[in-house]
């Protein structure tokens, strides 16, 4: 039996844990296996009494290029209907921070590209540090998946800027994100993890239970907003639409999508 490759690195230094996606050859594209390994890492962090703050980051040239399109978005229609969406059983990235026991703070340290599902994971984190020049893209809009959930995540942090990003699906930079109150800090090039560590140390210097009370309340509210948005979009089953299939196929075949038909 072939041993499963390790896609997630876990390290603890004092009270601070680093959880790093390590699939650099795919720009940390998220497959079902990656999500399950992240779940294990976050459970270990949550259960460790010596761990107070975690930093989520990505190895290589990018934080995350989004969902693994070849696995998740090119499933058969039967699979989509059985699973209720692109994610596999037990591999929903939206559950990573919403099923904690101890509600410890997580800082996203992002660089390079933060696309699609990677943007969603980042927005679930409690604090965000981005390296200067980082590029973000809400790919769900152009892929035909709909961005109701991501709109809710964006709106939780930012107002009009969130509306524009969700409806245009355009790229935006770390500097724009900071100006739009979407992220907390922009780190100089080459100093991302140093800046994320400084922020983690500031958080960790406080009484842990005091911090966790705020984290639990924040995530409860964020979860409520996201569930309401998802509830509105779910009946549309956009992952079964012709437009979604064409957008995913165009990505696989490295071409422009044919004209969308609204069905």
Tell me the H-state helices in the chain.
Answer: 32-47, 77-83, 117-124, 139-143, 148-157, 160-168, 174-179, 192-204, 208-233, 242-253
| Cα(170)–Cα(257) distance, integer angstroms | 16
| Cα(180)–Cα(81) distance, integer angstroms | 37
Asked whether 82 and 134 are in contact (CB, 8 A), the reply is no
Question: Going by C-beta distance under 8 Å and a sequence separation of 6 or more, which residues neighbour residue 71?
Answer: 31, 32
Active centre residues (catalytic): 140
Asked whether 169 and 139 are in contact (CB, 8 A), the reply is yes
Question: Going by C-beta distance under 8 Å and a sequence separation of 6 or more, which residues neighbour residue 143?
Answer: 73, 116, 244, 247, 248, 251
């Amino acid at each position: 039996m072939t041993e499963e490759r390790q896609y997630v690195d876990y390290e603890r230094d004092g009270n601070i844990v680093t959880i790093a996606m390590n699939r650099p050859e795919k720009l940390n594209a998220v497959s079902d296996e990656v999500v399950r390994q992240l779940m294990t890492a976050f459970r270990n962090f949550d259960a460790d009494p010596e761990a107070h703050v975690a930093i989520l980051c990505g190895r290589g040239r990018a934080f995350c290029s989004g969902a693994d399109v070849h696995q998740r978005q090119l499933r058969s229609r039967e699979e989509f209907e059985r699973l209720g969406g692109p994610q596999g059983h037990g591999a929903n990235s939206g559950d990573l921070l919403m099923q904690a026991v101890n509600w410890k703070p997580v800082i996203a340290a992002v660089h390079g590209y933060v696309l699609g599902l990677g943007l969603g994971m980042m927005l679930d984190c409690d604090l965000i540090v981005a390296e200067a020049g980082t590029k973000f893209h809400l790919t769900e809009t152009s892929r035909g998946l709909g961005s109701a959930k991501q709109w809710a995540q964006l709106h939780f942090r930012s107002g009009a800027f969130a509306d524009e990003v969700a409806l245009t699906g355009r790229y935006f930079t770390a500097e724009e994100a900071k100006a739009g109150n979407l992220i907390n800090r922009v780190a100089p090039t080459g100093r991302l993890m140093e800046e994320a560590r400084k922020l983690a140390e500031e958080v960790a210097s406080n009484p842990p239970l005091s911090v966790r009370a705020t984290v639990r309340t924040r995530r409860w509210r964020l979860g409520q907003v996201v569930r309401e948005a998802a509830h509105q979009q779910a009946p549309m089953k956009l992952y079964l639409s012709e437009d979604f299939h064409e957008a995913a196929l165009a990505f696989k075949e490295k071409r422009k999508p044919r004209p969308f038909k609204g069905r």
